[in-house]
Structure 1
Amino acid sequence: MPRLRIAHTSDSTIGQIYVPWSNGLLMVSVLTLVFAFRSSATLPFAFGMAVTGTITIASLLFFYVARAKWRTPLWLIVVGATVLLFVGLLFVAANMTKLVHGALPLLIGLTVFTVMPI
Structure 2
Amino acid sequence: MTCKSVAVAFVLPLALGLAANAWAGPRGGQGGNGHRPAPQQQATPFVGPERGKGRDELSDSVRRVERDTRGRVLSAERVPYDGRDVNRIKVVDQSGRVRVIMDDPDKQPSPPPARDDDN
TM range (shorter): under 0.3
Bigger-Rg structure (1/2): 2
TM-score calculated relative to the size of structure 2: 0.23
Of structures 1 and 2, the one with the larger relative CO (CA 8 A, separation 6+) is 1
TM-score calculated relative to the size of structure 1: 0.24
Q: When you count helix as a share of all residues, which structure comes out higher?
A: 1
Q: When you count strand as a share of all residues, which structure comes out higher?
A: 2
